[in-house]
Structure 1
Amino acid sequence: MKKFKLNIKRISANELSDRMLLINLYFTQLLSIVIGLIVLFFQHQNIIDLLALPPNVSFLYWGAGLAAAVLVVDIVLSRWIPEEAADDGGINELIFKNRSVWHIAVISFVVALCEEILFRGAVQHAFGPYWTSILFAAIHVRYLRHWIPTGLVFSISYAMGWVYIQTGSLWTPIIAHFLIDLVMGLIIRFRRES
């Protein structure tokens, strides 16, 4: 009988090719939505009902308002926090620096949709916004090196859970998540050009 030996080598983000980085990004989002859908199934939640658009547009204002607040706080904090204290290992830079605007929008939407279905739709339904935010911060492992980005990710997640409760629409945190990722991706993209 042959022995199966698995070699696991830790590599840095800079060692990944652009293709492998995108494969990893989209694979993790596929995994997020599959896990989310499985959890929703066992919770007896209907994904169609969960993603139904509300009759009024107030969810848009809540989502856009939360995104604007997060972006203002992030921009203000970036003025005072040393860059190394907010370092994510360069992942966001690698993901967004050479993307076209349409691809940044696609990535932002895919990430927002998949992660919010899993975290706000499924996990928060079972554990509430606090524990969901702890898990959300933990899976964003690249931020765990420093307490400031970890605290920000936790706070943003908690705020998304709160607006989801307030509006009753999963589209509210999806819109907020999308706008935050889109604007930050565009800042990274165009900061590089200048």
Structure 2
Amino acid sequence: MKKFDIRNIRFKKVTIDQIDDRLLLINLYVTQSVTFIIGLIWVLFQHRNPFLLFSVPKSLSFLLWGLGLAALVLAVDLLVSRFVPEEVGDDGGVNERIFKNRPVWHIAVMSLIIAICEETLFRGAVQHNIGPYWTSIIFAVIHVRYLRHWIPTGLVFSISYALGWIYIQTDTLWAPILAHFVIDMVMGFVIRFRREE
């Protein structure tokens, strides 16, 4: 039997074009699952009940906060895309590959999973320890594909901070989850149905 030697492990840089569709989806769902699990474990280490994070609020005002923030973000994104060259917002083609050829239902499902998993970790767990500012810095760094340009990095930071702010205002994780879901889903639909020039 051949012995396993960790020194024989080699890493190779892979571009988005070298990953097939199946592997791209596996990567997306695995990373989101890991994000969710880390968030739940972090909440447990804070001696908090993770089920309380997902309790349904008595007031429906969180809907206004979530949908209002989503509308604001989408309006700002529309303005930015109107006046800023497209290459400034380039993420290396990742979003294009994820959303371009997906059915509408799959875009909605992916957006919901991403919103729940990322908000559980960042708003539900991390923000509880270090506040919305530092959480937003980490959130922007995690979205590494945007770091090549300052405008998308600034937008990701600002959106994250706004998500943290509405979480504080509403005291429910459902407000940032709703906003995150609507933003991702609408952006996914825009990519999916955008006409080729």
Settle same-fold status: TM greater than 0.5.
Answer: yes
The equivalent residue for 2:153 is 150
**Structure 1 residues 1-194: aligned runs within 5 Å:** 3-4=5-6, 5-192=8-195
What is the RMSD computed on CA atoms of the aligned residues?
A: 1.2
Gaps of 5+ in 2: none
- Once the two structures are TM-superposed, the CA of residue 157 in structure 1 deviates from its matched residue by 0.1
Which AA in structure 2 matches 1:134? Answer: I
- Once the two structures are TM-superposed, the CA of residue 192 in structure 1 deviates from its matched residue by 4.5
Deviations 1:21-53 (A, max 9, x none): 000000110110111011011001111111111
Say which SS state the counterpart of residue 131 (structure 2) adopts: helix
In the alignment, the residues of structure 1 paired with residue 165 and residue 29 of structure 2 have an alpha-carbon distance, to the nearest angstrom, of: 27
Against the structure 1 CA distance between its residues 2 and 127, is the aligned structure 2 distance closer, same or farther, given a 3 Å change threshold?
Answer: closer
- Once the two structures are TM-superposed, the CA of residue 3 in structure 1 deviates from its matched residue by 3.5
In the alignment, the residues of structure 2 paired with residue 79 and residue 172 of structure 1 have an alpha-carbon distance, to the nearest angstrom, of: 28
Q: Tell me how many residue pairs correspond in the alignment.
A: 194
Consecutive aligned runs of 4 or more in structure 1 exceeding 4 Å deviation: none
Against the structure 1 CA distance between its residues 58 and 186, is the aligned structure 2 distance closer, same or farther, given a 3 Å change threshold?
Answer: same
Give the TM-score taking structure 2 as reference length.
Answer: 0.96
Gaps of 5+ in 1: none
Percentage of pairs with the same residue:
63
Instruction: Indicate conservation of the 8 Å contact 1:97/1:192, yes or no.
Output: no
Deviations 1:64-106 (A, max 9, x none): 0000000000001101111111101110000000000000000
Give the TM-score taking structure 1 as reference length.
Answer: 0.97
Instruction: Indicate conservation of the 8 Å contact 1:133/1:154, yes or no.
Output: yes
